[in-house]
Amino acid sequence: MKTLVINEPFVPYFCRTQRWAARTRGRVLRPPDWLAYATAVLEQAGVDVELYDFPALNWGKARLRSLVRDKQPQYVVLDSTTPSIYSDIDCARIVKEEAGSTIIMVGPHVSAVPDETLDISKGAIDIIVRGEYDYSVRDIIRVLEDGSNLKNVLGISYLKKGQVVHTPNRPLIPELDALPFPAWHQLDILKYYAGDKLYPYMNIIAGRGCPFRCIFCLWPQVMHGRHYRLRSAKNVVDEMEYNLLNWPKIKKGELFFEDDTFTINRKRALEICQELSDRKLGITWSANARSDTYDLELFKKMKAAGCRDLVVGLESGDQTILDRIKKGITLNQSREFIRTAHRAGLLVHGCFVIGLPGETQSSIEKTLRFAMEVNLDTLQFSGSIPFPGTEYYDYCKEAGLLKASSWADWLDEGEQTAVVEYPNLTKAQINHYVDKGLRDFYFRPKFMFKFLFNTRSFSDLQRKLLGAKNFISYLFSENRLVKTLRRKV
């Protein structure tokens, strides 16, 4: 039962493993952590499985065709995102043509719209897994190998006699410690890069789910649920120690906690810090956080345990917008979070979204001013993107705000782009303000001085220069310049 798990090709630099799948302005390339978990579960079950990350290898569809022709797998697991779904289905067809494999498709897009995906795939996709798929993929292969009925596998959708069959939802995995560590050994960790992280870096997922109600956030609404399920501190630090042992170059880089909000469970965060301090691993790490979880004592303990940077979703500098998107934070909390983190010696990377419900040019200007005033170390601006399965998508669809005519319009020539328009705010204006915010922040003399002189090592300098090169190449690409000139005219 030869099985291939594939992060399939799309446009160059396409990063499908982040919450907003796109080719980012900094050309970030993240590891396929969820696929690596599913691969590890298959390995644990004795399945002959290989994991391939085509974007990291810079392989295209011709290489996909030759790979499956050579391997002749019985099963192929493919990922899915909204912007890439037509290409994802094309990849499924290629596999069918070359090997006749059973195609299992996973990921947020097919989880949100399984019926439509099966319909437009015209037989290229055999089975869709909805939501968390670590164990579902394993169970599908077991059932098919045993000749049992697919209806016994929870959380899947498939066609039977031309009709879509949905089995009952699979409960979210309660015991995360039971999962094996991700199959990083099947990937080249040095292929992955993010401008706000030390190089090289690896992800750690210490918990899944998020209890907060942000209307736009994809993972809690479609994949991992609203309940924050935790791994034990020992299990988490065991994985960190395992990573250091097997990939010693990470000692020069960092580990990143990909949990939606690492800091919301103070007790468990402190337990991880204590475990790290007790073992004296000397590893640098960073984590996602919420701005209403500022806590000087916690932040100081995190710093002492090796934490370098906190990534926080600030989203907007307009309180009305924050209330509309059910963020549940205030601007004063965001200011205090940044001050507290800096008092503890931590850096802060702020995330902002332009074009959320109720947005106007006035509210965007407030956000840009706020971003410049609160003393962030690094930041990112993104155009708001409503993904199917989210409350934000339903709102935009019902209000007639979606300007994309098909899923292919969720990107602009591979770039992250706005797909909604409001009565007084166009897509072009949203994209303009995203670029303006990035230029205004990163091209300030104050930032450029810190960028050049606050460098930890040669590898850190390499990371910074690559990030600068990627960002500048985006801003000054021919298409961006043409669009900027048109806006000025």
CATH number for the domain spanning 276: value is 3.20.20.70
- The verdict on 132 and 49 lying in the same domain is yes
Both tokens assigned to 192: 């992955």
According to DSSP H, which parts of 305-360 are helical?
319-324, 331-343
Split into its structural domains, the chain has a count of: 2
Cα 13 from Cα 335, distance rounded (Å): 34
Domain end point (choices 147, 166, 185): 166
Question: Which of 75, 82, 77, 84 has its CA nearest to residue 55?
Answer: 84
Which residues, at least 6 apart from 242, have a Cβ–Cβ distance to it below 8 Å? Answer: 181
Rounded to the nearest 10°, the torsion over CA 377, 381, 386, 392 is 60
Cα 246 from Cα 255, distance rounded (Å): 14
Q: What are phi and psi of 229, to 5 degrees?
A: -95, 135
Cα 44 from Cα 143, distance rounded (Å): 16
Give pLDDT, residue 462: 63
DSSP per residue over 464-480, as a string? HHHHHHHHHHHHTSHHH
Cα 207 from Cα 235, distance rounded (Å): 11
Residue type, 30: R
Question: Which of 86, 90, 81, 137 has its CA nearest to residue 109?
Answer: 81
Report the CATH number that the domain containing residue 96 is assigned in CATH.
3.40.50.280
Residue 308: half-sphere exposure toward Cβ, Cα within 13 Å: 17
172 is a domain residue: no
Cα 222 from Cα 274, distance rounded (Å): 33
187 is a domain residue: no
428 is a domain residue: yes
Give pLDDT, residue 456: 61
Give pLDDT, residue 104: 98
Question: Which of 260, 275, 274 has its CA nearest to residue 230?
Answer: 260
Residue type, 267: K
Question: Which of 71, 119, 128 has its CA nearest to residue 94?
Answer: 71
Both tokens assigned to 380: 């990112």
In order along its 489 residues, the chain shows pLDDT tens digits of: 899 999 999 988 888 888 888 887 777 899 999 999 999 999 999 999 999 999 999 999 999 999 999 999 999 999 999 999 999 999 999 999 999 999 999 999 999 999 999 999 999 999 999 999 999 999 999 999 999 999 999 999 999 999 999 999 999 999 999 999 999 999 999 999 888 899 999 999 999 999 999 999 999 999 999 999 999 999 999 999 999 999 999 999 999 999 999 999 999 999 999 999 999 999 999 999 999 999 999 999 999 999 999 999 999 999 999 999 999 999 999 999 999 999 999 999 999 999 999 999 999 999 999 999 999 999 999 999 999 999 999 999 999 998 877 898 887 766 677 889 999 999 999 999 999 999 999 888 877 777 666 666 666 666 666 666 666 666 666 454 444 444 443
Give pLDDT, residue 488: 43
- The verdict on 376 and 476 lying in the same domain is yes
- The verdict on 149 and 229 lying in the same domain is no
Give pLDDT, residue 392: 97
Question: Rounded to whole angstroms, what are the CA distances from 381 to 226, 244, 401?
Answer: 25, 32, 21
Give pLDDT, residue 23: 81
Both tokens assigned to 139: 């169970």
The domain containing residue 55 runs over which residues? 3-166
- The verdict on 157 and 201 lying in the same domain is no
- The verdict on 21 and 144 lying in the same domain is yes
- The verdict on 160 and 227 lying in the same domain is no
- The verdict on 252 and 388 lying in the same domain is yes
474 is a domain residue: yes
- The verdict on 317 and 419 lying in the same domain is yes
Question: Which of 56, 101, 106 has its CA nearest to residue 80?
Answer: 106
What is the pTM (predicted TM-score) of this model?
0.93
Cα 187 from Cα 68, distance rounded (Å): 18
374 is a domain residue: yes
| Residue 489 burial class via C-beta count within 10 angstroms: exposed 0-12, middle 13-18, buried 19 and up | exposed
Give pLDDT, residue 464: 60
Both tokens assigned to 436: 């303006």
392 is a domain residue: yes
- The verdict on 475 and 353 lying in the same domain is yes
**Euclidean distance between the first and the last CA atom of the chain, given in angstroms as a whole number:** 60
Sheet containing 127-129: give its strands across: 49-53, 3-7, 75-78, 102-105, 127-129, 156-160, 163-166
